Amino acid sequence: DLVALAAADLDLERDAEVAERTRIERGRLTLLDRVRACGSVVEVSLLGGGLHLGVVVDADDDWFLLGPPGTEGSRQQHLVRVAAVASVRGLGGGAQTAASALPPRTVASVLRGWCRDRTEVVVQMLDGSAVDGLPASAWADHLEVATGRGPAALPYAALASVSRRLPG
């Protein structure tokens, strides 16, 4: 009986250690790690209002890019700042940490490409307001958008998301 009790105690200790290691590992993972690993459609709610649906097609340290959710419907991309996310639905149980030897891409680097494409954007601000127009320049800390009321300088820190319709 003592041998069986000792074996049962060892099993309980091992189970407790595995559970603790799992909790520690999960404690190191971020929302962005989970978003990176998601291969299905997610629903992202933004602070200040706004909702985007899509599949994560790219991500870096403080942003992720949602592509169209499927063949039908919206043909838009949404650049979402992680700091502006209120909730994400549709995440799986997996996670994927960034494992790149390259320096992180910034919001500005993505938006510079969008400025070159000359595709109209809708910028959702953290306060819930929206600005639409043609992205003119992506500066170090702000995006300039040509609007019907003149150019608007939008600090990246105030952006929740930037959306554009895909060509074609």
With tokens 């690993």, the residue in question is 37
**Would you state the structure tokens that stand for residue 45, as one six-digit string?**
């709610």
Q: What are the phi and psi torsion angles at 138 (to 5°)? A: -110, 105
Predicted pLDDT of residue 7:
87
Per-residue pLDDT reduced to its tens digit, 116-136: 998 899 999 999 999 999 999
State pTM to two decimals: 0.81
Residue 161 binned pLDDT confidence (cut-offs 50, 70, 90): very high
Per-residue pLDDT reduced to its tens digit, 50-60: 999 999 999 88
The residue-averaged pLDDT of 4-28 equals 77
Q: Do residues 160 and 125 lie in contact, with contact meaning Cβ atoms separated by under 8 Å?
A: yes
Per-residue pLDDT reduced to its tens digit, 64-119: 999 998 756 568 999 999 999 999 999 876 666 665 555 778 999 999 999 999 88
Predicted pLDDT of residue 168:
63
